[in-house]
Amino acid sequence: MAVYNGEKYLRHAIDSLLAQTFTDFEFIIVDDGSTDATSQIIQGYDDERIRFIQNEENIGLTRSLNKGLALAGGEYIARMDGDDVSLPDRLAKQVAFMEANHEVGACGTWARDIDQAGKVIRNREALTGDDLDSFYWRVSPLIHPTVMFRFTPSLGPWYDETVPVAQDYDLWLRIRAEQRLSNLPEYLLLYRVHEESITAAKAERQFRSAYAAFCKHIGGNKIAYEAFLALHTDSSELDPLRRAIATTRLARIIHKPYRIFFHDDLQYARRWMHSLRVYKMAFGTRGFRGFCNSILRLGLQKRQS
């Protein structure tokens, strides 16, 4: 756990981990140069499992996480942020899963979003099974503070310190290149949503950083940023045919059949048509039918191939 000025929720986070039913772990907490009562709160705990590191200055999340990894002695690394809450069986269930599935390099869970008062406001479900295997390239396939991953000091994996944001997405792609990713379909973490959550400006930076990691993963910018954005959001910057072409290219790159993504492309086309109100105004009745038939023919061709 790396924390910066987290005094408001930190006790809840620490208490939730110390109360885990699985008890054989070391708890490394890195205070990243906090100026509030964060360090005093951590030092107030009398538990031999806690290892406290205090940065003299703020060095950022990625470097702080690597600083913690350098001290870790366990076979698995479990992540959590200083404002979230792990439910009691989280570590036990993840360790049991990792022990039973040696081909899995990283395992996340589902989470419930909570507000500042701790009230559940929505469920946060990550992809599982075949859906995760096919759509692992989406941002982000695993919920970062729910994750447990395999780690050795000599081989890593370490966080890439050249990636200031979306460092988790970059890590999942590198793990996925060697091993499987997985998510337990259980709500094992309470994910805090508050005023310090990512703003729209930060979200744009996250996507730009994720796109850079994605390009590194596939070996170059074979898919434009606009297409990458359209593959993740309801953005109407890309028309459905261009998006479908980008999807077929992606399918070839990650060695998956296009039929897996065909329904997703059709759903996007429907949303795009509705949002731009171009059913007849842009195409006319015949033109619209021809446009849809073009997408259908493209999908059938790719399914046959």
Q: For the residues of 168-180, what is the DSSP string, one character each? A: HHHHHHHHHTTSE
pLDDT of residue 52: 97
pLDDT greater than 60 at residue 13? yes
Q: What is the pTM of this model?
A: 0.87
Percent of the chain with pLDDT over 70: 87
pLDDT greater than 90 at residue 270? no
Would you list the domain boundaries of the chain?
2-192, 222-304
pLDDT greater than 80 at residue 282? no
Averaged confidence pLDDT in the chain: 89
Give the model confidence (pLDDT) of 106-165 as tens digits: 999 999 999 999 999 999 999 999 999 999 999 989 999 999 999 998 889 999 999 878
Give the model confidence (pLDDT) of 180-204 as tens digits: 999 999 999 999 997 766 545 577 8
Token pair in block for residue 56: 């003299």
2.60.40.1220, 2.40.30.10, 3.90.550.10, 1.10.287.1080: CATH of 2-192: 3.90.550.10
Type of residue at 183:
N
Token pair in block for residue 228: 């990458």
The dihedral built from the CA positions of residue 152, 124, 239 and 264, taken in this order, carries a sign that is positive
Residue 288: pLDDT band with limits 50, 70, 90: low
pLDDT greater than 90 at residue 277? no
CA distances from 135 to 157, 181, 256, 272 (A): 21, 11, 10, 21
